[in-house]
Structure 1
Amino acid sequence: MAVSPEEKAKRVRRLFAEIAPRYDLLNRLLSFGADQGWRRRAVRLALERHPRRLLDLATGTGDLALLLKEAAPWAEVVGADFAPPMLELARKKAWERGLEVRFLEADALALPFPEAAFDAITIAFGFRNFADYGKALQELHRVLAPGGRLVVLEFPPPPKGAFGLVYRLYFQRLLPLLGGLISGSFRAYRYLPESVEAFPPPEALKALMEGAGFGVRYELLTFGVAAIHVGDKA
């Protein structure tokens, strides 16, 4: 039975609230540390046009927002998420590292920002959790200034071929077990492979972004395990 956008949003918010304390550790373990390199690549792409106002949406515990601030200390960086426990951890990390980043609760489908509020927007591993991709892209386009850039780092469905078969076995069987044991939430790490399998492949996401008004290109990372889509607003 199909889940309504409202139910999906509630489910995802509960799941990420449950795993917040172990979220960073699990990201490192479950990607074998590759997620850090992927984020650094997203930062470089986001900063290519030297933006002064940046939004990191679905910021989680703030990893990407803090990397943006470290790389662009002149810029105003805002991190937004709909899971308060994640935001509390993000604020703590910013304070410990002496970085001035504003973290706030926000819904991607109804962002609390005026039109053209940001020069660049990043989303790392959170886009697939949005309840309505088209509506989210419309909101992102609205709050992005003309000439601004959207960078989406995400897990596409596992690639084809022998590597894809091995990766799918790991992602569907081993990852939920490891994640559940470490976090204490087996259902959260059953949701992860389910959400990835249901996510649009790179070409389809490119088409969705183009339909929202972005000029789009993308690149595959680590044999297609992750993908970065870059959308520029005319």
Structure 2
Amino acid sequence: MTVLRDDTLSAAFDHAARTYDRLVAANPGYHAHLRRSARRLRLPRGGAGLRLLDLGCGTGASTAALRHAAPLAEIVAVDASAGMLAQAEAKPWPPGVTFVHAPAEHLAQAGVKGPFDAVFAAYLFRNVADPDTVLHQVRALLAPRGRLAVHEYTLSGRLTDRLVWTAVCKAVVQPAGTLTGDGPLYRHLFHSVADFDTADAFADRTRRAGFSGVRVLPMPGWQTGIVHTFLASADDAAADAR
């Protein structure tokens, strides 16, 4: 099994940063699905007056999706990989979007402080060493009744979905990653999904972190049963239960 953690994983993302956008663009629905998850936050007034956190922004695809859903919001985008963050920062952004280099576990040390009206986290939680700690930190950063949307590869638990994920990775994702010299990273990404929570298990994990109103919504296409949006709220009842 190839599972990378912490500095090793960040270094692998650094190395893959220049080719990452090109590879994910070949994934049908990749950007559309990110936009769908961001829209599911249902941020009012185009985000006017809101402060949003894009946690694990990578090369900025999730930031662009969040900006599309809330064009008037202030967005703080954070990633642990300096290489991925450099690719994100090099793209054209309007005022109100800022980038911070920091691991999800050490936001306060990097000066990232709440409250945020919403947090968007795409492809993050299966790549952190302690997802429970990160979920609790996210909960603490949210304003009362703040919203969380997690966009993540989390298998449904059905054998057919696991077989589809395995086939796509073995036939397409891993060979493409190997050609770019990033085989270890893409092998890690396969196992990070196969060995992570099912969709129901991650929903339960989110509830244990103090969130309420947790919902799990699917994606269309071949990703049905493989990619989900998790929506949750940091309302007062959740705060009282902590």
- Give the TM bin, normalised by the shorter chain: 0.7 to 0.9
* Counterpart pick for 1:175 among 169, 173, 185: 173
The equivalent residue for 1:74 is: 72
Structure 1 residue aligned with 2:189: 192
Other-structure match for 2:104? 108
1:10 aligned residue: 7
* Residue of structure 2 in register with 1:232 after alignment: 233
Q: Which residue of structure 2 lines up, in the alignment, with residue 214 of structure 1? A: 211
Q: Report the residue type matching 1:26 in the other structure.
A: L
Gaps of 5+ in 1: none
Aligned residue number for residue 37 of structure 2: 42
Partner SS, residue 206 of structure 1: helix
Root mean square deviation, CA, Å = 2.2
Report SS of the residue matched to 1:14: helix
Deviation at 1:159, TM superposition (A): 5.4
Distance between the aligned counterparts of 2:160 and 2:133, measured in 1? 36
Q: Distance in 2 between matches of 1:159 and 1:202?
A: 8
Match of 1:205 in 2: 202
Aligned residues: 225
Query: Partner letter of residue 14 of structure 1?
Result: A
* Contact 2:43-2:70 within 8 A present in 1 as well: no
- Counterpart in the other structure of 2:91: 93
How far the C-alpha of 1:68 sits from its partner, in A, is 2.1
1:25 and 2:22 matched: yes
| Gaps in structure 2 of 5+ consecutive residues | 236-242
What is the TM-score when the length of structure 1 is the normalising length?
0.88
Distance in 1 (CA, whole Å) between partners of 2:190 and 2:83 is 22
Matches within 5 A, 1:136-147: 136-147=134-145
- CA apart distance, 1:166: 3.7
Maintained 8 Å contact 1:151/1:228: yes
What SS does the corresponding residue of 1:46 show, helix, strand or coil?
coil
1:142-157 to structure 2, matched below 5 A, reads 142-157=140-155
Read off the aligned partner of 1:36 and give its amino acid letter: H
Residue 212 of structure 1 deviates from its aligned partner by 0.7
Q: Return 117-126 or 152-161, whichever deviates more.
A: 152-161
Counterpart residue type for residue 197 of structure 2: P
Contact 1:9 1:130 in 2 (8 A): yes
Q: Give the SS at the match of 2:92.
A: helix
Distance 2:177 2:43 in 1: 35
Task: Note if contact 1:58-1:123 (Cα within 8 Å) is conserved in structure 2.
Answer: yes
2: distance between equivalents of 1:151 and 1:108?
Answer: 15
AA at the equivalent of 1:88: A
Counterpart Cα distance in 2 of 1:228 and 1:99: 28
Question: Is 2:218–2:229's contact at 8 Å kept on the other side of the alignment?
Answer: yes
Structure 2 length as normaliser, TM-score?
0.85
Residue identity in the other structure for 1:132: D
Report if the CA contact (8 A) 1:46-1:121 is conserved.
Answer: no
Read off the aligned partner of 2:39 and give its amino acid letter.
Answer: R
CA distance in 2, matches of 1:190, 1:161: 20
Q: In the aligned structure 2, how far is the partner of 1:78 from the partner of 1:174?
A: 33
